[in-house]
Amino acid sequence: MSETTRTTGVSRRTLLKGTAGLAGLAAGSGAITGFPYVKSADAKVLRYLGTAVNEGDDISKQCLKDTGIKIEYITATTDDVTKRVMTQPNSFDVLDTEYFSLKKLVPSGNILALDAKKIKQFDNITPVFTKGMTPGGKKIGGQGTAPWKVLYLEGKDSKKFATSATEFVTLIPTVYNADTLGIRPDLIKRPISTWAELLNPEFKGKASILNIPSIGIMDAAMVVEATGKYKYADKGNMTKEEIDLTMKVMTEAKKAGQFRAFWKDFNESVNLMASGETVIQSMWSPAVTKVRSMGIPCTFQPLKEGYRSWASGFCVSKGVSGAKLEWAYEFVNWFLSGYAGAYLNRQGYYSAVLSTAKAHMEPYEWAYWMEGKPAEKDIKAPDGSLLEKAGAVRDGGSYEDRMGGVACWNAVMDENDYMVRKWNEFIAA
């Protein structure tokens, strides 16, 4: 019972915080299927804290069927996940979070690294995470908090990131993607090929960025570089002068009325784009797909300066030990065994272990999502709804092309405090 109540509580709070759609759906449906839970010795329950990205109902159902582990989702926004880890480390077991938050989470000591030796598929994890390369050998841009910089710890309880591989892994990789601008080709009516277009006065009042300061500023930095105004040593770790320069560009754009609204959650970005409030904005791949499935043209536009990428993975709360820790390993191993990976690939994200996901996908699906080939048959979402008609090609093409084109990674800067103050100044301007 108490578990059921907790789920509902979180869903209500999440709703209040503004993550209505997806989050509410995920947490809410959890409450409906969460029949009064009878505690018995062998009931395996894991409380799973994360954003809505990985938290499909189908995933938890399949996991229960395959392993007997019952997953209870606690859904929150990226910021709130971090906040919860810092302030209530005992309120969850498994944590699903992004690599860029590790700079805050690891020193806090509230999370426990997992042992690579206990992860069956660890050696099959894509070299994107371990070497900073695509499987085809393309070097990936490493600006920002690139996962390979923070993947390993020096020791079990160490708070230092190791420079070479150890068995102590901060986050076991699960999902990642290369983000770029989403555009409405029907309203823009001309080719878009550079980040500079985001602040092009032509789209005055019709542009948008993410309302997360650390990510918003990186999008702006992509624009600054694209216009040739300045070249950053590391867009994900700016100096104070670089922050000032970038914020000045953004402030000028804001004062000129460039931005329609900033978005914070998946559905907001879909609403803005689908309603025509914006025609160009930073976006996530499944959000573009969602707009398209509403019958509205929308392109996840590859740009010559490259993608801004993000990645997330699993660790556990420091309070998890004994049998529960074993279930956590069992769950993570299950997650990498293919079903979940295929599920994520079908949404337009990428799974960490490609081989197992491939085995769970139809060859035509793999060819469309991963190889950038024209769809042989209609492409369907995990829930069976039609995403693309036969013949369509994925925006940006193959996995090699998209991940190989990554320029920088979501990050937390050393000057984060200064940047947040500058962000408030930017909003007040």
Binding site for other proteins (CB under 8 A): 15-16, 18, 20, 79, 82-83, 86, 103-105, 107-108, 205, 211-213, 254, 259-264, 271, 275-277, 412, 416-417, 420-421, 423-425, 427-429
**Which one, 271 or 293, has the nearer CB to other proteins?**
271
Min separation Cβ 357 and other proteins, Å: 33
Min separation Cβ 80 and other proteins, Å: 8
**Which one, 221 or 413, has the nearer CB to other proteins?**
413
Min separation Cβ 350 and other proteins, Å: 27
Q: Give one word for 177, left, alpha or beta, with left for phi > 0 and alpha for psi -120 to 50.
A: beta
**Which one, 75 or 337, has the nearer CB to other proteins?**
75
For residue 96, give the DSSP letter: E
Min separation Cβ 27 and other proteins, Å: 14
Min separation Cβ 20 and other proteins, Å: 5
Bridge-based pairing of strands 307-317 and 111-112 is: antiparallel
**Which one, 293 or 416, has the nearer CB to other proteins?**
416
Token pair, residue 391, equals 């013949």
- Phi then psi for residue 158, to 5 deg, are -70, 150
Min separation Cβ 114 and other proteins, Å: 20
Of 415, 358, 348, the residue nearest 176 (C-alpha): 348
Token pair, residue 106, equals 């690891």
Strand partners, 170: none
- Measured CA to CA, the distance from residue 244 to residue 151 in angstroms comes to 31
Min separation Cβ 79 and other proteins, Å: 4
The SS3 assignment for 329 reads helix
**Which one, 129 or 262, has the nearer CB to other proteins?**
262
Long-range contacts of 54-61 (CB under 8 A, 24+ apart): 54/96, 54/174, 54/175, 54/312, 54/340, 54/344, 55/26, 55/96, 56/26, 56/340, 56/343, 56/382, 57/26, 57/29, 57/30, 57/33, 58/343, 58/382, 58/383, 59/335, 59/339, 59/340, 59/343, 60/30
| Cα-Cα end-to-end distance for the chain | 49
Min separation Cβ 101 and other proteins, Å: 10
Q: Are the beta carbons of 100 and 147 closer than 8 angstroms?
A: no
**Which one, 270 or 406, has the nearer CB to other proteins?**
270
Min separation Cβ 336 and other proteins, Å: 28
Q: Are the beta carbons of 23 and 52 closer than 8 angstroms?
A: yes
- Measured CA to CA, the distance from residue 202 to residue 13 in angstroms comes to 39
For residue 42, give the DSSP letter: T
A 10 A CB-CB count for 335 gives: 29
Min separation Cβ 287 and other proteins, Å: 16
**Which one, 118 or 264, has the nearer CB to other proteins?**
264
**Which one, 15 or 381, has the nearer CB to other proteins?**
15
**Which one, 11 or 180, has the nearer CB to other proteins?**
11
**Which one, 222 or 412, has the nearer CB to other proteins?**
412
**Which one, 107 or 155, has the nearer CB to other proteins?**
107
- Phi then psi for residue 385, to 5 deg, are -75, 155
- Identify the H or E element spanning 51: none
Length of the chain: 429
Min separation Cβ 377 and other proteins, Å: 34
